């Protein structure tokens, strides 16, 4: 990657302020004046993980000249819990006036989305865990109007999609039809449930101009079923509540960095595949700046930064987001990611696969497939080959999400 001189100057200015102002980074060496030496300086800094962010929160992350209580009183910031699985859950100092512009800017990296968003009648529906929908909670039975903010309709009201009743699902389908969103931002697992419900009922959903998938890893089965219900291009929007939107997928299937808002360092992982961990240094973020924060995900890096969409990215360009680092294993020196397991499962099941969900728990692969009981054994054999250990397939009626509302592909 080759970030521009202007980018490095920003990294220099911002990291200098972080080290001077933020208690968590106070013991870091002062960045070099020569921006040419910044890369080496960054590389020797310890990365920051979720544990470090939790320790001493929020004080350790507040800049010395900031008054958190005053900012919370005038509602310019709020303390928000992220929706991760228990071990991943974090509290975040969350600022709407930072989040919204950086998210929109990331979305506009995709030409099709940018065109949609330019239109005055642009409206968006959001389908995710209600706890993490843009800092607003929509638990309980609120009306459609109560779930609408700034042209955005939050479709979901309850935590666990496997507990959605027919009535819940039908309400969401009806609201989709009535609201006819131009864009949809969704958790892929949730959207797949809604898509299957629409297919089952023979409902024609008005297709939005784009769908962004975010919050969790998208499997092939999710993509397949969403695609059957609605003929709209699907794009990955990759970020985290605590770090902002880091990458946006373009119309040519590459994830481009949101580089005005973050500097990305990639830490290669063992094996022959171009896999890496993502370390983020935030840019232009007043509250809770991050310095080499390890998001905890594994990504597949694209061979080249040149992309057919024409967008020139100085930072790294990705092929896809592979899943949680904690869900990866190393087998004979090769890193195996959740999406590599997903690839192997779908390759074994073939194009006519009807499997909807899988979850690897220890040595058991749970497979939810309403049309076939045999697929569990076939999928387990594929996983077993990849992991080089015996895996037993078990047919289940559904895979439940964690208490947080997120699904896990791999559980130890
Ligand atoms: Zn592109």
pLDDT for residue 17 = 97
- CATH at residue 347: 3.30.300
Q: From ligand 1's centre to the CA of 309, what distance in Å?
A: 4
- Same domain, yes or no, for 301 and 312? yes
Q: From ligand 1's centre to the CA of 61, what distance in Å?
A: 34
pLDDT for residue 98 = 92
Each residue's pLDDT, cut to its tens digit, for the chain (412 residues) gives: 588 999 999 999 999 999 999 999 999 999 999 999 999 999 999 999 999 999 989 999 999 999 999 999 998 999 888 766 666 778 899 998 999 899 999 999 999 999 999 999 999 999 987 654 444 555 555 788 888 887 888 888 776 787 789 999 999 999 999 999 999 999 999 999 999 999 999 999 999 999 999 988 999 999 999 999 999 999 999 999 899 999 999 999 999 999 999 999 999 999 999 999 999 999 999 999 999 999 999 999 999 999 999 999 999 999 999 999 999 999 999 999 999 999 999 999 999 999 999 999 999 999 999 999 999 999 999 999 999 999 999 999 999 888 777 889 999 8
Q: From ligand 1's centre to the CA of 233, what distance in Å?
A: 14
Q: Among 310, 326, 342, where does a domain finish?
A: 326
- Same domain, yes or no, for 287 and 358? no
- Same domain, yes or no, for 356 and 387? yes
* Bridge partners, residue 368, by sequence: 357, 396
Q: From ligand 1's centre to the CA of 212, what distance in Å?
A: 15
The residue whose two tokens read 């958190």 is 68
Taking a 5 Å cut-off on Cβ, the residues next to ion ligand 1 are 250, 252, 254, 307, 309, 311
- Same domain, yes or no, for 368 and 286? no
Q: From ligand 1's centre to the CA of 327, what distance in Å?
A: 28
- Same domain, yes or no, for 160 and 30? yes
- Same domain, yes or no, for 180 and 294? yes
pTM: 0.94
Q: Among 267, 300, 326, where does a domain finish?
A: 326
Task: With both helix axes pointing from N to C terminus, report the angle between 375-387 and 338-349 in degrees, rounded to the nearest 10.
Answer: 130
Which domain covers residue 335, as residue numbers? 328-412
Q: From ligand 1's centre to the CA of 164, what distance in Å?
A: 37
Q: From ligand 1's centre to the CA of 259, what distance in Å?
A: 14
Q: From ligand 1's centre to the CA of 153, what distance in Å?
A: 28
φ, ψ (nearest 5 deg) of residue 74: -85, 10
Q: From ligand 1's centre to the CA of 317, what distance in Å?
A: 8
- For the chain, the three-class secondary structure string (H helix, E strand, C coil) is CCCCHHHHHHHHHHHHHHHHHCHHHCCCCCCCCCHHHHHHHHHCCCCECHHHHHCCCCHHHCCCCCCHHHHHHCCCCEEEECCCCHHHCCEEEECHHHHHHHHHHHHCCCHHHHHHHHCCCCCEEEECCHHHCCCCCCCCCCCCCCCEECCEEECCCCCCHHHCCHHHHHHHHHHHHHHCCCEEEECHHHHHHHHHHHHHHCCCCCCCCEEEECCCCCCHHHHHHHHHHCCCCEEEEEEECCCEEEEEECCCCCEEECCCCEEEEEEECCCCCCEEEEEEEECCCCCCCCCCEEEEEEEEECCCCCCCCCCCCCCCCEEEEEEEHHHCEEECCEEECHHHHHHHHHHHHCCCCCCCEEEEECCEEEEECCCCCCHHHHHHHHHHHHHCCCCEEEEECCCCCCCCCCCCCEEC
Number of folded domains that form the chain: 2
Q: From ligand 1's centre to the CA of 256, what distance in Å?
A: 6
Q: From ligand 1's centre to the CA of 263, what distance in Å?
A: 18
Q: From ligand 1's centre to the CA of 312, what distance in Å?
A: 8
- Same domain, yes or no, for 251 and 386? no
- CATH at residue 11: 3.40.50.12780
pLDDT for residue 137 = 52
Q: From ligand 1's centre to the CA of 286, what distance in Å?
A: 29
Q: From ligand 1's centre to the CA of 12, what distance in Å?
A: 28
pLDDT for residue 401 = 85
């Amino acid at each position: 990657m080759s970030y521009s001189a202007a980018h490095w100057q920003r990294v220099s200015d911002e990291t200098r302020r972080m080290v001077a102002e933020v208690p968590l980074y106070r013991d870091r060496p002062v960045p070099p004046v020569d921006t040419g030496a910044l890369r080496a300086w960054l590389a020797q800094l310890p990365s920051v993980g979720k544990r470090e962010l939790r320790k001493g929160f929020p004080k350790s992350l507040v800049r010395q000249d900031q008054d958190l209580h005053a900012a919370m009183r005038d509602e310019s910031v709020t303390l928000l819990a992220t929706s991760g699985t228990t071990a991943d859950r974090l509290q975040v100092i969350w600022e709407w006036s930072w989040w919204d512009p950086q998210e929109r800017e990331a979305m506009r990296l995709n030409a099709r989305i940018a065109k949609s968003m330019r239109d005055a009648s642009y409206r968006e529906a959001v389908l995710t865990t209600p706890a993490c929908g843009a800092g607003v909670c929509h638990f309980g039975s609120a009306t459609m109007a109560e779930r609408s903010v700034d042209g955005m309709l939050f479709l979901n009201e309850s935590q666990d999609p496997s507990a959605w009743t027919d009535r819940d699902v039908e309400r969401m389908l009806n609201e989709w039809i009535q609201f006819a969103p131009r864009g949809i931002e969704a958790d892929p697992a949730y959207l797949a449930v809604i898509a299957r419900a629409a297919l089952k009922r023979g409902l024609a959903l008005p297709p939005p101009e784009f769908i962004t998938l975010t919050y969790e890893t998208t499997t092939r089965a999710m993509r397949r079923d969403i695609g059957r219900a609605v003929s709209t291009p699907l794009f990955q929007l990759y970020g985290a509540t605590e770090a902002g939107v880091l990458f946006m997928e373009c119309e040519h299937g590459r994830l481009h960095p949101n580089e005005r808002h973050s500097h990305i360092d990639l830490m290669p992982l063992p094996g022959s595949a171009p896999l890496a961990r993502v370390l983020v240094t935030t840019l232009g973020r007043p509250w809770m700046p991050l310095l080499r924060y390890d998001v905890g995900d594994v990504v597949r890096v694209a061979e080249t930064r040149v992309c057919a969409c024409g967008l020139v990215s100085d930072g790294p360009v990705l092929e896809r987001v592979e899943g949680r680092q904690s869900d990866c294993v190393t087998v004979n020196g090769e890193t195996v990611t959740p999406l590599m397991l997903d690839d192997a499962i779908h390759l074994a099941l073939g194009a006519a696969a009807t499997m909807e969900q899988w979850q690897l728990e220890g040595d058991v692969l749970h497979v939810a497939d309403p049309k076939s009981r045999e697929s569990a054994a076939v999928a387990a054999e594929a996983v077993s080959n990849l992991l080089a250990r015996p895996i037993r397939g078990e047919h289940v009626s559904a895979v439940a999400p964690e208490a947080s509302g997120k699904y896990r592909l791999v559980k130890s």
